[in-house]
């Protein structure tokens, strides 16, 4: 049987965080040989918040460099930049007409972001989940590897697909999410009840994939924990649970192994140990990304080539969609 299709995206707004890596990118790499995968730097999503144009261009290419450095093969996977494939915008418009105002009003990320950017609550910010649904449905994706914070958006994409199929027959594959059981929600190091976000104004709250080892160590040493001084995974110990999750992923150790390792030790030893494990996890990725970022022509050629591959696949779905809704064929 032919391989199933995977689609996922990441915003090139700012530098990529350890949360993005653990929640999503790590799994993208893990499943790359078992599926036909499309991985996208979603620059059209990024402009829902004001961006510096020069930086956005650079960061879109930097995302492609980072994906390669994480271990994704740009020949085997289709890795590209969203705005280079115009069908995303075209399908998003069509799907807008099959999405309800009330559905979009319920999106928690919209509520959060419109509070954060209260001076710029633009229509794109509100409509963002429809563009995301278009990204996924355009390629008939079966599976979407994401972190926990994108679950609600994925559910909306499923609802839109089912609604459209209900009217026109089986046009879209209804996608499933793939959220890791451990690491689907990496928390801020400064406020461990909040998710780690690459745009957090507090630099100590987040680890970035390109952070220098010194910065990583400093941030982990400062990480907020609790006053119990016991390295155990337990309800309510948000800071420690988060550090244990990160340490477990960086070292491959289970929670009980970690508890045993730090049984008679305090946080003073645990926190730098997490830092060191993360430094080693990120070191090769950081070095390779920085190397690749110097090869702009190479990155550009990958983007151009893969955008063409993506566009050809997208066109298959678009032809069906145009016909179904009553557009005159080109
Ligand atoms: P974005 O760019 O915010 O994040 C990229 C991926 O990283 C995951 N993630 C996290 N996982 C665990 N812990 C965290 N603290 C954390 N922060 C982020 C996100 O869940 C995501 O999987 N709307 C999407 C991008 C997108 C997309 C798509 C994803 C656009 N179109 C189609 C999947 C399919 C977003 O803003 O992700």
Q: Which atom of ligand 1 is nearest to the CA of 149?
A: 20
Distance, CA of 139 to CA of 143 (rounded, Å): 11
178 within 8 A of 146, measured Cβ to Cβ: yes
How far from chain centre, in Å, is Cα 94?
24
* Ligand 1 centroid, distance to 23 Cα (angstroms): 8
pLDDT of residue 180: 96
Task: Indicate which residue of 3, 195, 237, 324 is catalytic.
Answer: 195
Quickly state the pLDDT bin for 199 (edges 50, 70, 90): confident
* Residue 184 burial by Cβ neighbours in a 10 Å radius (0-12, 13-18, 19+): buried
Distance, CA of 11 to CA of 146 (rounded, Å): 12
Task: Indicate which residue of 3, 54, 111, 113 is catalytic.
Answer: 113
Distance, CA of 169 to CA of 3 (rounded, Å): 23
- The CB of 45 under 6 Å from ligand 1? The reply is yes
pLDDT digits (tens, 9 = 90+) for 232-241: 999 999 999 9
DSSP of 293-323: HT-HHHHHHHHHHHHHHHHHHHHHHHHHHHH
pLDDT exceeds 80 at position 20: yes
Distance, CA of 191 to CA of 4 (rounded, Å): 39
pLDDT digits (tens, 9 = 90+) for 129-187: 999 999 999 999 999 999 999 999 999 999 999 999 999 999 999 999 999 999 999 99
253 in catalytic set = no
Q: Whose alpha carbon is nearest atom 37 of ligand 1?
A: 10
pLDDT of residue 71: 98
Distance, CA of 38 to CA of 78 (rounded, Å): 5
Distance, CA of 279 to CA of 163 (rounded, Å): 46
* Ligand 1 centroid, distance to 326 Cα (angstroms): 34
pLDDT mean across residues, the chain: 97
Distance, CA of 320 to CA of 270 (rounded, Å): 56
130 within 8 A of 92, measured Cβ to Cβ: yes
Quickly state the pLDDT bin for 319 (edges 50, 70, 90): very high
- The CB of 132 under 6 Å from ligand 1? The reply is yes
* Ligand 1 centroid, distance to 10 Cα (angstroms): 6
Q: Which atom of ligand 1 is nearest to the CA of 186?
A: 13
- The CB of 136 under 6 Å from ligand 1? The reply is yes
- The CB of 21 under 6 Å from ligand 1? The reply is no
- The CB of 185 under 6 Å from ligand 1? The reply is yes
Distance, CA of 42 to CA of 83 (rounded, Å): 7
194 in catalytic set = no
* Ligand 1 centroid, distance to 162 Cα (angstroms): 23
Quickly state the pLDDT bin for 192 (edges 50, 70, 90): very high
- The CB of 23 under 6 Å from ligand 1? The reply is yes
* Ligand 1 centroid, distance to 192 Cα (angstroms): 19
pLDDT digits (tens, 9 = 90+) for 253-280: 999 999 999 999 999 999 999 999 999 9
DSSP of 3-46: PPEEEEEE--SSPPBHHHIIIIIHHHHHHTTTSEEEEEE-HHHH
pLDDT of residue 1: 60
- The CB of 7 under 6 Å from ligand 1? The reply is yes
323 in catalytic set = no
Q: Which atom of ligand 1 is nearest to the CA of 42?
A: 30
pLDDT of residue 216: 98
Contacts of 20 (CB under 8 A, 6+ apart): 10, 147, 198, 209
pTM value?
A: 0.96
* Ligand 1 centroid, distance to 324 Cα (angstroms): 31
Task: Indicate which residue of 198, 219, 237, 271 is catalytic.
Answer: 198
Q: Which of 60, 81, 126, 150 to mutate to test the pocket of ligand 1 (most atoms within 8 A of CB)?
A: 150
């Amino acid at each position: 049987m032919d391989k199933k299709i995977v689609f996922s995206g990441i915003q090139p707004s700012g530098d990529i965080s350890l949360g993005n890596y653990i929640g999503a990118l790590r799994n993208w790499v893990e499943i790359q040989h078992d599926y036909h995968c499309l991985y996208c730097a979603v620059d059209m999503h990024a402009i829902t918040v004001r961006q510096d144009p020069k930086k956005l261009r650079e960061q879109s290419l930097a995302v492609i460099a980072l994906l390669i450095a994480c271990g994704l093969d740009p020949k085997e996977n289709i890795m590209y930049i969203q705005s280079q494939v115009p069908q995303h915008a075209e399908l998003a418009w069509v799907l807008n007409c099959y999405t309800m105002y009330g559905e979009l009003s319920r999106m928690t990320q919209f509520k959060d972001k419109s509070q954060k950017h209260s001076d710029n609550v633009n229509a794109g910010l509100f409509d963002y989940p429809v563009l995301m649904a278009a990204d996924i449905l355009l390629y008939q994706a079966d599976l979407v590897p994401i972190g926990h914070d994108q679950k609600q958006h994925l559910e909306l994409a499923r609802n839109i697909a089912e609604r459209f199929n209900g009217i026109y027959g089986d046009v879209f594959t209804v996608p499933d999410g793939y959220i890791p059981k451990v690491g689907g929600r990496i928390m801020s190091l400064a406020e461990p009840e909040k998710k780690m976000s690459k745009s957090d104004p507090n630099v100590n709250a987040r680890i970035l994939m390109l952070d220098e080892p010194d910065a990583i160590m400093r941030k982990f040493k400062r990480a907020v924990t609790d006053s119990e001084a016991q390295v155990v995974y337990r309800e309510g110990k948000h800071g420690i649970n988060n550090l244990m999750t990160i340490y477990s992923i960086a070292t491959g150790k289970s929670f009980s192994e970690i508890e045993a390792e730090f049984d008679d030790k305090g946080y003073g030893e645990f926190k730098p140990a997490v830092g060191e494990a993360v430094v080693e996890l990120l070191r090769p990725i950081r070095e390779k990304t920085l190397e690749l970022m110097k090869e702009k022509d190479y990155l550009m050629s990958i983007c151009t080539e893969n955008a063409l591959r993506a566009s050809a696949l997208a066109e298959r779905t678009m032809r069906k969609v145009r016909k179904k809704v009553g557009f005159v064929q080109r």
